[in-house]
Amino acid sequence: MSTSNSRRSFLSKAAIAAAFAPIAPIATFGRGIENAVEKTPISSPPSDLKITDIKCGYIKGSLFVKIYTNQSIWGCGEGVDAIPGTYYLVKDFGRRLIGKSPLNVHRLFEDIRKGGFFQGAQSGMYIAVLSAIETALWDLTGKALGLPIYQLLGGKFRDKVRVYCDTALYQRNLPVPKDFADAATKAVKMGFNALKFDLDQAQDPNKYDQYNWTASPAELKRMVDQITAARQAVGPNVDICVDMHGRYDAVTGQHVASLLEPLNLMWLEEPIPAENVEAYKLITESTSTPICAGENHYLAYGFRRLLEIGAVDIVMPDLQKVGGLGEGQRVANLANLYYVPFAPHMVASFLGAMASAHVCASVPNFLILEWQSYFHTDPMFKEIITYDGKWVENSFMTVSDKPGIGVEINEEGMKKYAIPNVPFFV
């Protein structure tokens, strides 16, 4: 039965009842009931809600998708990194969704994933695009049922999720230790109690050559001096993470982890590339510095071996490219079997940040979520979304209680940042 039909039937019965009521209430009875019914959210029956279209737009490193339905509600999602040139992949996935109910999120995810077994559905662009679509399906389902995504995922363990600030002190600018101390101090003054810095420096004049992944003694000293300055600036009670972006070899990874042990890091992130998990195990077993990886692993399958052999201490899937929110929760639950903390990587917009926060709230082993300093410095990120609450306060995000993600994309605000010559929400 459609929503309009149920309301019409209800109002008809109300009118009949009014005919036998005392004269005085007649003028107000029907109007009051009508107003109450119209204000009452009535979830559409699953059989009535159908996907009618999917459109997308691209801004810098992000893909934004919007899934439309026959009932004037839509869902939004975001994918990152492995998304350039994927417009026609989005449209291909969209054709597979049209006419189907968006409420069967896991089923639609599996239909597309298994349907691409010989098309690259194990990782990369295929999964990054699927992540954006899967997230939009959760957003749409939440809006249709009047529930926040964390509720659809089984409820929440926490109302707020802790975040660390990526200081964006990029090594391409050849920062010195004082720059690290200043950046750390600034972030703490902004209210953050956890920070992240990059250690890899492609232009370091002390590199042996641009292809050699072994850090020279001078490079190692630079790394230690930089993070030591940050630690001294903020004291022992602020968490510090460092990222090497997978640009070194196992020897350097072991060496850096050992040298940084006195600084009590929250973690050392991706000292080596993602592919060889056995090499990660060698580093992890050689040091007391926690080793973290996972932003370049795809699907829960990609984390199985990593966890089975104890290759890392902390997992950090990127929920905008690992497969989406349901897949992110599966990774967290898998990690929880090994008592491994879950600390998602996050380089998306605030839409992606809040979508990630729903998953972080829904699992017991959540540690911390990445937060980008560009949210505070680049006006674009305020213009491309709509949200009426505080973004972050004292190193915590409050998880939205609104239906779906709780954050909307602003297509008008996005237009001036759209990538030229790429179709924009058509």
Q: What is the pLDDT of residues 209-247, one digit of tens each?
A: 989 999 999 999 999 999 999 999 999 999 999 999 999
What percentage of the chain exceeds 70 in pLDDT? 89
* Pairwise pLDDT comparison (55 vs 119), residue with the higher score: 55
- Partnered with residue 361 across adjacent β-strands are none
pTM, to two decimals = 0.89
First to last CA, the chain: 32
Q: Say whether pLDDT at 25 is over 70.
A: no
CB contact at 8 A, 54 and 101: no
Q: Which CATH class is domain 152-402?
A: alpha beta
Q: What distance in Å separates the CA atoms of residue 395 and residue 10, rounded to the nearest whole number?
A: 49
Q: What is the per-residue pLDDT across 245-286, written as a single tens digit (0 to 9) for each?
A: 999 999 999 999 999 999 999 999 999 999 999 999 999 999
pLDDT in the model for residue 9 = 41
Instruction: Give residue 39's pLDDT.
Output: 43
Q: Are 153 and 325 in contact (CB under 8 A)?
A: yes
Query: Strand 239-243 vs strand 396-398: parallel, antiparallel, or unpaired?
Result: unpaired
Q: Which CATH number fits domain 51-147: 2.60.120.380, 3.40.50.300, 3.20.20.70, 3.30.390.10?
A: 3.30.390.10
pLDDT bracket for residue 169 (50, 70, 90): confident
pLDDT at residue number 46? 61
The residue extents of the domains of the chain are 3-39, 51-147, 152-402
pLDDT of residue 173: 81
Residue 35: per-residue pLDDT: 46
Average of per-residue pLDDT values in the chain: 91
Question: What is the reported pLDDT for 174?
Answer: 87
- Residue 327 to residue 33: CA distance in whole angstroms: 44
Residue 156's contacts (CB-CB under 8 Å, 6 or more residues apart) are: 150, 361, 362, 399
Span 411-415, average pLDDT: 96
Mean per-residue pLDDT, 123-131: 97
SS3 content of the chain, % helix, strand, coil (to 5): 45, 15, 40
Give the bridge partners for 342, in sequence order: 315, 366
Give pLDDT, residue 47.
64
pLDDT-derived band at 168 (thresholds 50, 70, 90) equals confident
Looking at residue 3, its pLDDT comes to: 40
Bridge partners, 242 (sequence order): 197, 268
Identify the three-state secondary structure at position 278.
helix
**Which helix H or strand E contains 315, and what residues bound it?**
strand 314-315
Q: What percent of the chain has pLDDT over 90?
A: 85
